[in-house]
Amino acid sequence: MIGDATIPALPRGVRLREDQARGGFTLMAPERVLKLDPIANEVLKRIDGTATVAMIVDDLARTFAADRAQIDRDVKSMLQGLADKRLLDLTGND
Amino acid sequence: MTDGTAIDPPLGLLAELTHRCPLSCPYCSNPENLDRRSGELDTETWKRVFAEAAALGVMQVHLSGGEPTARADIVEITAHCRDVGLYTNLITSGINVAGAKLDALADAGLDHVQISFQGDISDHADHVSGMQGSHARKLELAAQVTGLGLPLTVNAVIHRGNADRVREMVQFAVDLGARRIEIAHVQYYGWALRNRDALMPTAEQVRTSTAAVDQARADFAGQIVIDAVVPDYYARRPKPCVGGWGRRSLNVTPAGKVLPCHAAETIPHLTFPNVRDRSLSDIWHHSEAFNAYRGTDWMAEPCRSCDRRDVDFGGCRCQALAMTGDAGATDPACQLSPFHARMIELAETAVAEVEASPMDTRYDYRRFL
Ligand code: SF4
Ligand code: SF4
Q: What is the pLDDT of residues B345-368, one digit of tens each?
A: 877 766 656 677 777 777 888 777
**CA nearest to B141, candidates B103, B88, B183:** B103
Q: Is B223 in the pocket of ligand 1 (CB under 6 A)?
A: no
- pTM higher than 0.95, yes or no? no
Cβ-proximal residues to B281 (8 Å cutoff; 6+ apart), any chain: B52, B55, B56
Q: Does A68 touch chain B (CB under 8 A)?
A: no
Task: Give the pLDDT of residue B72.
Answer: 96
Handedness of CA B84, A86, B221, A75 (dihedral sign): negative
- Domain coordinates of chain A in residue numbers? 10-85
At B137-149, the pLDDT tens digits run: 999 999 999 999 9
| Residue B369 pLDDT greater than 90, yes or no | no
Q: What is the mean pLDDT of residues B270-284?
A: 97
Helix (H, G, I), strand (E, B) or coil at B6: helix
Establish whether residue B115 lines the binding site of ligand 1, counting it when its CB lies within 6 angstroms of any ligand atom. Answer: no
- The span from the CA of A89 to the CA of A82, in Å, is 9
Q: Give contacts of A83 with chain B, Cβ < 8 Å.
A: 222
Least CB–CB distance from B112: residue in A22, A26, A30: A30
The pLDDT value recorded for residue B351 is 63
% of residues, chain B, pLDDT over 70:
96
What type of residue is B80? H
Task: Identify the band that residue B116 occupies on the pLDDT scale cut at 50, 70 and 90.
Answer: very high
Q: Which of B20, B24, B25, B32 to mutate to test the pocket of ligand 1 (most atoms within 8 A of CB)?
A: B25
CATH of domain A10-85: 1.10.10.1150
SS3 B42: coil
- Residue B1's pLDDT band (cuts 50, 70, 90): very low
Which residue among B57, B60, B148 sits closest to A28, beta carbon to beta carbon? Answer: B60
What local confidence, expressed as pLDDT, does residue B366 receive?
A: 79
pLDDT band (50, 70, 90) for residue B238: confident
Nearest Cα to Cα of residue B157 among B174, B181, B135: B181
User: Closest chain A residue to B182 measured between Cα atoms?
Assistant: A31
pLDDT digits (tens, 9 = 90+) for A6-65: 999 999 999 999 999 999 999 999 999 999 999 999 999 999 999 999 999 999 999 999
Provide Rg for chain A, Cα atoms: 13
- Mutate which of B20, B27, B30, B262 for ligand 1? The one with the most ligand atoms within 8 Å of its CB, which is B30
pLDDT in tens, B2-35: 444 578 999 999 999 999 999 988 888 888 888 8
* A12 → closest Cβ in B9, B57, B151: B151
**pLDDT-based confidence at residue A87 (cuts at 50, 70, 90):** very high
Query: What's the average model confidence in pLDDT over B42-51?
Result: 98
